[in-house]
Structures are given as structure tokens and as C-alpha cells.
Amino acid sequence: MQLTFDAQPTAALFDRTGAVFALGDGSIRFEGGERTDAHDGAVLCAAVHPSGDGIVTGGDDGKVVWTRRDEAVVLADASGKWIDAIDASADSGLIAFSHGRALSVIDAKDPAFRREFQHERTVSGVAFEPKGRRIACSTYGGAALWFARIADQKPTMMKWAGSHTAVGWSPDGAFVVTAMQDAQLHGWRVKDQRNLRMGGYPSKVRSFAFLSNGRLMATSGAQGAVLWPFVGADGPMGKEATEIGFDQNALVALVAARPGKGVLAAGLNDGRVWTADPAAQGLNFVRADKAAPVAALSLSPDATRVAWADQDGQAGVNEIA
């Protein structure tokens, strides 16, 4: 399925019924053709709602909105501050979002619940641990770990000098990983805060994703998709990364995967999109024609479909052969 949007895509996601696209004009588009204008301004970030029905988005209008195919509901307001990052947990039913130096947490089933956590510097990324009980926030100087429901607490600080721009957890909750402004990744083993350094990238790493039951972490930022091994108690420490899909004339802009599946999707800065099984040979190009850089990418929960969109508003939803 090929789609054309009249605004630049912010995110491509799959809820439980299909692909959903969030756009820079504030609208949410569903693969069935439904459209909802969710924000008065651009959508800056998006995540699947904890229920699996529709998506939650943050906008430059300072609102967090839950959009389904038939309605859009404002869940929270940040008093006009941009919502920079958002994540949601199906396990805990919580939604976390950042605005400036603050992290806010709300409960999808309890409109009265809200927690606020403050940081010394701007929060750039937000991620729930797999069980949804803790939240990691990337910020300048490292990552802050919070317990999602506890009101008065001090965070556990995972420290490393520099600007950290995105954050995620390994599927077993043992490691926290951040992307950094200076073209590298950093990580920590949560139990003892031991540092993991993952460098050597020719450009900034914009995305990373776990696959193969958490044994591999794929990243963007190089001429191919970089794969780091996360096997054993030490994760990637002392191990070498591998690379698949190397092309000296292009860079991988985005990667997408599902932790329990062995499929990887990559979107390139020349508009092409491919999928691959790292344990097998060859790439499957779901979009072989060159175009504008890929701006959004996602795999369906069962890893049988891929949704993508480029900076010019061209998009697609494809079956994976």
C-alpha cells in the first residue's frame, strides 16, 4: 500500500488494528484512510496507547492526545510547553512524557493520577523498562531512572559526560542505552552502573532497536545496520559489532525491530527501505527506489509488516516476504 501525505511524517506506528502515521501538520492518519486533526501545530512524538487502540502523541501545542479512528481526546496539558518525548507501557498502563526539564507520568485508566519529576537539564528521551515500573530519561550528562508511581524520590543517575539524545532499555531490563550527540552510543548495566561504550559511527545515531529475543541491538548511523551482541551478563562489553546491508553511498537513518522476533527493518537516507533476518543472507527491499530520506519506520507486532514514510510525505505499508 502506497500513501501520500501533504505534511512531513513524525512517526509511523502499528496499533492493534494496523498502521498509524503522525504528521507535522498535527494530523493522525490511519492506513484505512481515516484522518483526525489531533493537535493545533506539529506532532513532535508518538507512541502506541497502552490499550493497543490508537496512539498517544505530544505536540508543540503542549498537549498529549489519545487518537483512535473515531475520536481524539486530550489526556494532559503541559501549559504550552512542547512535548519533546513520549512513551507508553502496556504492562503498567502508564504514559510518560517530557516537556522542558520535566517528566510527567499519567495513568491511562485513572485521569486523576499524575506524577511530576524534575531534572537539571532538558529531557530529550523517555523510555519505560519492559515491565513498565521504571522510566529512563536521557538528558545532558547521562540518564535518570525513576520509579513511575512514586511521588517523592530522587532518581538513580547513570552518569556519562555529554549530550544524550535518546534512551531505551534492553528487553530483560538489565541495561539502559542512550544515543549521544557526538555519533556514539553509551550504556550502563543497571545493577552496578558499569559503563558500556559503543562508538565508531560516521554519523549521529538516531535510532536503535532490540531483536532476536534481546540477543542483538541494531542501530542506525552507519553505511549499514550495526548489530551489537547482548548475550550474557556483560552485554556488548568486550565484544565487536557487526554490520549488515553495507552501502558506501548511503547511511541507515532509522532501524525498527521487535524484541521477540528476528526481523530487522532499515530506512536509508536515500529513501530506500529494506528488511532482513540477520541470521540469513540478503536484504529484502520493500522500497528500492531512491527518494527523500526515510523519516519514520516501524514493524508490526508480529513482524510481518513494515510501515515507512519519507520526509516528502511519501509512505507505505508493506508485507514482509
Place of cell 552485554: 235
* Per CATH, domain 203-321 is 2.130.10.10: yes
Q: What pLDDT shows up at residue 321?
A: 77
| Dist. CA 23–CA 302, nearest whole Å | 24
Q: What pLDDT shows up at residue 232?
A: 87
Q: What pLDDT shows up at residue 238?
A: 86
Q: What pLDDT shows up at residue 281?
A: 79
Between CA 178 and CA 185, with CA 183 as vertex, the angle to 5 degrees is 25
Q: What pLDDT shows up at residue 175?
A: 97
Among 293, 300, 292, CA closest to 317: 300
Long-range contact set of residues 83-86: C-beta below 8 Å, sequence gap at least 24: 83/44, 83/45, 83/57, 83/58, 83/59, 84/44, 84/45, 84/58, 84/122, 84/123, 84/124, 85/45, 85/58, 85/123, 85/124, 85/125, 85/126, 86/45, 86/46, 86/47, 86/56, 86/57, 86/58, 86/126
- How far is CA 175 from its chain centroid? 16
| Dist. CA 228–CA 215, nearest whole Å | 8
SS (H, E, C) the chain: CEEECCCCEEEEEEECCEEEEEECCCEEEECCCCEEECCCCCEEEEEECCCCCCEEEEECCCEEEEECCCCEEEEEECCCCCCCEEEECCCCCEEEEEECCEEEEEECCEEEEEEEEECCCCEEEEEECCCCCEEEEEEEEEEEEEECCCCCCCCEEEEEEEEEEEEEECCCCCEEEEEECCCCEEEEECCCCEEEEECCCCCCCCCEEEECCCCEEEECCCCCEEEEECCCCCCCCCCCCEEECCCCCCCEEEEEECCCCCCEEEEECCCCEEEECCCCCCCEEEECCCCCCEEEEEECCCCCEEEEEECCCEEEEEECC
Domain ranges of the chain: 203-321
Contact (Cβ atoms closer than 8 angstroms) between residue 123 and residue 137: yes
Q: What is the pTM of this model?
A: 0.96
Mean pLDDT by 10 residues, the chain (321 residues): 96 97 98 95 98 98 96 95 98 98 97 97 98 98 98 96 98 97 96 94 97 97 97 89 96 97 98 95 94 98 98 97 77
Q: What pLDDT shows up at residue 203?
A: 97
Q: What pLDDT shows up at residue 300?
A: 98
Contact (Cβ atoms closer than 8 angstroms) between residue 312 and residue 271: no
For 263, counting Cβ atoms within 10 Å of its Cβ (0-12 exposed, 13-18 middle, 19+ buried), the class is buried
Q: What pLDDT shows up at residue 280?
A: 87
